[in-house]
Amino acid sequence: MALTQSDQHDSFEKNTSLPYRDLDIERLQSEIAKALHERDYPREGVFAVRLAVEEALVNAYRHGNRRDDSKIVTFTCRIDSECASFEVGDEGPGFDISSVPDPTDEANLEVPSGRGLLLMREYMSLLEFIEPGNRLRMTYRRVRD
């Protein structure tokens, strides 16, 4: 188990590598929200980041690690006054993003799969899957008034 954290005046960083059963998503979301609030991110931005981080972590466990509690989920974040960057990884074989059905297509409206990816795409400034598809990078860029 590796857990490191750095909280300086200008940036907040956190790195975690844990089995999913030991990962406290709510606590992690609270730490991230606190770091965002301390850097004056808007309320809507804090909500967007919290939701995207939760979706990414849950997807890594459910789909990547196939609900195997012994497999590791990795999480890295860096938050400064301009952007918040995250990387989530799992021990699964990866997947092809194009194979996920579009949840907004009328034929898929009743299918629960794909909604988390849609939310992450909508809320984050950048969403990128790293080959073979078992790592995800997300960035939220702060919008200035």
Position 145 scores a pLDDT of: 63
Q: pLDDT value at position 3?
A: 46
SS3 32: helix
Using an 8 Å Cβ cutoff, are 73 and 25 in contact? no
106-120 as b/e, with b when 16 or more CB fall inside 10 Å?
A: eeeeeeeebebbebb
Give the pLDDT of the chain (145 residues) as one tens digit per residue.
444 444 445 899 999 999 988 889 999 999 999 999 999 999 999 999 999 999 999 999 999 999 998 999 999 999 999 999 999 999 999 987 777 656 555 664 555 555 688 889 999 999 999 999 999 999 999 987 6
Q: CA-CA distance, 14 to 37, in Å (whole number)?
A: 16
Query: What is the number of other CB atoms lying within 10 angstroms of the CB of residue 68?
Result: 15
Task: Kindly report the backbone phi and psi dihedral angles of residue 30, in degrees, each rounded to the nearest multiple of 5, phi listed first.
Answer: -65, -40
Confidence at residue 140, expressed as pLDDT on a 0 to 100 scale? 98
Token look-up 């899957």 returns 129
Per-residue tokens: 64: 């990547």
Q: Which pLDDT value is given to residue 7? A: 44
CA–CA distance, 73 with 122 (Å, rounded to integer): 23
- For the chain, where are the alpha helices, taking DSSP H only? 25-38, 43-59, 115-123
Domains by residue range for the chain, with CATH: 2-141 (3.30.565.10)
